[in-house]
Amino acid sequence: MNRPALAKQAVFVTGASGYIGGRLVPRLLEAGHRVVCIARERRKLEDRAWSRDPRVVIRECDVNDVAGLASAMAGCDSAYYLIHSMLVAGDEFRGLDQLLANGFARAAKRAGISRIVYLGGLGELGAGLSEHLASRREVELSLAATDVPVTVLRAAVIIGGGSASFEILRYLVERLPVMITPRWVKTECQPIAVANVLHYLVECLDAPQTIGATLDIGGPDVLSYRELMRLTQQELGVARRLVIPVPVLTPRLSSLWIHLVTPISHRIARPLAEGLRNRVVCRDDRAVALMPQPLLTVRQAIREALARERTGALESSWSDAGAMPGDPVWAGGRVFVDRREIVVSASPHQVFRAICWIGGDHGYYAAGVLWRLRGWIDRLFGGPGLSRGRKDSEDVHFGEALDFWRVTARDLDRRLVLRAEMKLPGDATLAFEIEPAAADRTKVIQTARFRPRGLLGLLYWYAVLPFHAIVFRGMLDGIRRRAETPASEKPP
């Protein structure tokens, strides 16, 4: 299809490491655009396949820095605002959302941006909005605070493999034969497939009528959350679930229950659970008229999401957008170190592949019961536990979540560093360094570091120390065995 000259504009994208942004960039490239992305650390995006496209520019910038943002936007025509601070700000997300949106609008005006595109939340207007949806409305107003036009696309539940709302739905249905739910399971919603959301986000650039417009976007089906659960149950192929709505289950209790049963943090789950009490149905079909496309039904969207999760073909996940504080600063206070070495009869590349295999369904080579127990304890205390798993079955990338770790360094065939995001009375990392040894052998240096906070941190270190010989030594032995096993004999 021949596109007008406007489609060749340079486009500025925030949130490119997140769920929607990570999928939007390659589609903008397919449409013929040049893309400028920002990240606090360039490495967070450099592992994405699309980052190597010559039409992509990655600039390091903090979204809090208005001057830096304006400089990064220079030369771009349109700018996508795909930032939400629920994951990093907890209960304070509403104030931070407004602050960031206001700064972004001022930066866009200074850079000469012709329009801002924002993906907001669908919901009834007026009083009674949940804090989550009210924050989305406030962001719309903050983005429109200057004379830069804003295109707002409001969506309800986005169904796609790896999205937070779909992960909640799938895990609840998959794991609970009986569900005690709040009354909001009877509330109507209009879900939309992530593919349809991405179509609207890209096509609005070619539709001048969308400039300055607020458009509701949704799929063809309007149904209750209870019916949504039933369709998910059918597509999962599990027995019919008993859903019991009760009037006393608060959003806080709901979010804690979601946290325990699904990989979603309670910080994200609470505003999402609160938002479900609002009816989220499109008020009109202007978006369909302006940007026509085949809309997937709820059943089709669920089927597509499950198929992608089963094959491991996820382009992005809700957990990709986690905070990236980098390696902890170890200056000040005592740091406990557990350092172990092993020599492997394999190349550095084979060893690195074996190290990158840890986590998720693969486990940690040894002491599986202890790892699972630690994961459950972490979930009980509000941490992610092991439920986040891994996105790719064979490789890990900088910035990714890996169970209750975050990848904070990845140098091919040389080094992998994981920072603990589990609930701990201190800061912890687990590092693997690879060095060539004599006679086609490779040395692996495994270093666990822990900086305790207070007396509780000291007690924690000495409590787990006896298990290190089992856990970490077993892990090194497992890495050696896998690296030394011929590729043809390794499990898929």
181 or 476, greater pLDDT: 476
pLDDT tens for residues 391-420? 888 888 888 889 999 998 888 899 999 999
pLDDT tens for residues 46-72? 878 898 999 999 998 888 889 999 999
Rg value, the chain, Cα: 24
H/E/C letters for each residue in the chain? CCCCHHHHCEEEECCCCCCCHHHHHHHHHHCCCEEEEEECCCHHHHCCHHHHCCCEEEEECCCCCHHHHHHHHCCCCEEEECCCCHHHHHHHHHHHHHHHHHHHHHHHHHHCCCEEEEEEECCCCCCCCCHHHHHHHHHHHHHCCCCCCEEEEEECCEECCCCHHHHHHHHHHHHCCEEEECHHHHCEECCEEHHHHHHHHHHHHHCHHHCCCEEEECCCCCEEHHHHHHHHHHHHCCCCCEEEECCCCCHHHHHHHHHHHCCCCHHHHHHHHHHCCCCECCCCCHHHHHCCCCCCCHHHHHHHHHHHHHHCCCCCCHHHHCCCCCCCCCCCCCCEEEEEEEEECCCHHHHHHHHCCCCHHHCCCCCHHHHHHHHHHHHHCCCCCCCCCCCCCCCCCCCCEECCEEEEEEECCCEEEEEECCCCCEEEEEEEEEEEECCCEEEEEEEEEEEECHHHHHHHHHHHHHHHHHHHHHHHHHHHHHHHCCHHHCCC
pLDDT tens for residues 335-345? 788 999 999 99
d(CA 432, CA 447): 7
Instruction: Report pLDDT for 5.
Output: 37
Of the pLDDT bands very low, low, confident and very high (cuts 50, 70, 90), residue 88 is very low
Mean pLDDT of the chain: 83
338 to 101, 331, 447, 469: CA distances (angstroms): 44, 18, 6, 10
Q: Which fold has domain 330-489?
A: Alpha-D-Glucose-1,6-Bisphosphate; Chain A, domain 4 (3.30.530)
The model carries a pTM of 0.70
H/E/C letters for each residue in 98-153? HHHHHHHHHHHHHHCCCEEEEEEECCCCCCCCCHHHHHHHHHHHHHCCCCCCEEEE
Instruction: Report pLDDT for 30.
Output: 94
68 or 321, greater pLDDT: 68
Give the Cβ contact number of residue 187 at 10 Å. Answer: 17
d(CA 15, CA 18): 5
Mean pLDDT within 36-43: 86
The upper half-sphere exposure of residue 233, i.e. CA atoms within 13 Å in the direction of its Cβ, equals 19
For residue 141, pLDDT over 70 is answered with: yes
Of the pLDDT bands very low, low, confident and very high (cuts 50, 70, 90), residue 488 is low
The two tokens of residue 479 are 């890495």
d(CA 296, CA 77): 31
User: Would you call 440 exposed, middle or buried from its count of C-beta atoms within 10 A (0-12, 13-18, 19+)?
Assistant: exposed
Provide CATH 3.40.50.720 ranges for the chain: 5-318
Instruction: Report pLDDT for 173.
Output: 81
Residue type, 416: L
Give the Cβ contact number of residue 222 at 10 Å. Answer: 17
Whether domain 5-318 has CATH 3.40.50.620: the reply is no
d(CA 485, CA 453): 41
According to DSSP, the residues that pair with 431 across neighbouring strands are 417, 447
Provide CATH 3.30.530.20 ranges for the chain: 330-489
The two tokens of residue 131 are 């804090």
Of the pLDDT bands very low, low, confident and very high (cuts 50, 70, 90), residue 206 is very high
> 1-10, 52-61, 412-421, 452-461: which has the minimum mean pLDDT?
1-10
